[in-house]
Amino acid sequence: MTALIELAGFSKNFGSNPVLNHIDLSVREGEVVVILGPSGCGKSTLLRCLNGLELGHAGTYRFAGRQLPGNGGWRAVRQEIGMVFQSYHL
């Protein structure tokens, strides 16, 4: 089965501070994945990048076999992705 979500060498910085550094991830349809780590390690940033609320600085991101845009062009993609925050105020 092909991956629904694929990251390869994905990186995200805030200014000169690297938050996600060369992340490789593959998630198949129906698969359950846990993102676990201490506060401030980039879990929420990764989720925000996965649904286009933040854009990465390097690497590739594919959703359902389509390479996603590095800047803009997310409107159609967001119609297929849902995200529920852990608390309403996040």
DSSP state of 34: -
77 neighbors 49 (Cβ within 8 angstroms): no
User: Which pLDDT value is given to residue 63?
Assistant: 84
57 neighbors 11 (Cβ within 8 angstroms): yes
pLDDT tens digit sequence for 28-82: 999 999 999 999 899 999 998 888 888 888 998 888 888 876 666 667 777 777 7
Region 1-14: what's the mean pLDDT? 90
Examine the pLDDT at 24 and tell me if it is beyond 70.
Answer: yes
User: Which pLDDT value is given to residue 7?
Assistant: 93
Top CATH class, 3-78: alpha beta
Domain coordinates in residue numbering, the chain: 3-78
Q: Could you please report the per-residue DSSP string of 52-88?
A: TSS--SEEEEEETTEEPPSSS--HHHHTT-----SST
User: pTM of the entire structure?
Assistant: 0.80
